Structure 1
């Protein structure tokens, strides 16, 4: 693959990652992600549990969880009337890995 093709692929990677980058770029959402990473991925946490661990208000946590869900960074599992939020390796976070690998490939080949 030539350099122009690689740059075009990286441009596409950036476009695909825009929502994810915006979602994880916020410090408050980063703290929520760290809390979720510290729990069992299969179980997840409820809004109240995240609120306790982040010391944010319940509405703030819900707002940030919505942004993270809309970006495909976290997933939600329903259990009756309860919602559990968690990170899964199959979320859109994988797009970031592709972006970094494509940049690394270009830089090691041409620089």
Structure 2
């Protein structure tokens, strides 16, 4: 694959990854993700539990959870009136793996 084709592929990877990069680039959302990673994926956590562990306000947690959900990084499960949030194991974070892999290949091919 020539240099320009690889650069175009990396550009496409960046475009596809923008929502995920934006979502995980925020320190507050990173702390929420770390809290969610510490729980059972099938059980998940409620907003109040996340609030207690992150020391953020309930509205702040809800706002950041919405962004993480829209980026496909977390999912929500309803049980009656209760919402449980958990990491999406088939997450859009895989886009980042592709992006990094393509950048590594480009660097290997043209700079070594």
Classify the TM-score, shorter chain: over 0.9
**1:56-95 correspondence runs (5 A):** 56-95=56-95
Query: Cα deviation per residue 1:21-44 (whole Å; 9 max; x = unaligned)?
Result: 111111111100010111111211
Identify unmatched segments of 5+ residues in structure 2: none
- Give the structure-2-normalised TM-score: 0.95
Per the TM alignment, residue 103 of structure 1 is displaced from its structure 2 partner at its CA by 0.5
Query: Cα deviation per residue 1:40-98 (whole Å; 9 max; x = unaligned)?
Result: 11211110110010011111100000011111111111122111111122111111111
Q: Match of 2:48?
A: 48
Q: Match of 1:9?
A: 9
Q: Distance in 1 between matches of 2:52 and 2:25?
A: 22
1:75–1:91 Cα contact (<8 Å) kept: no
Are 1:108 and 2:103 an aligned pair?
Answer: no
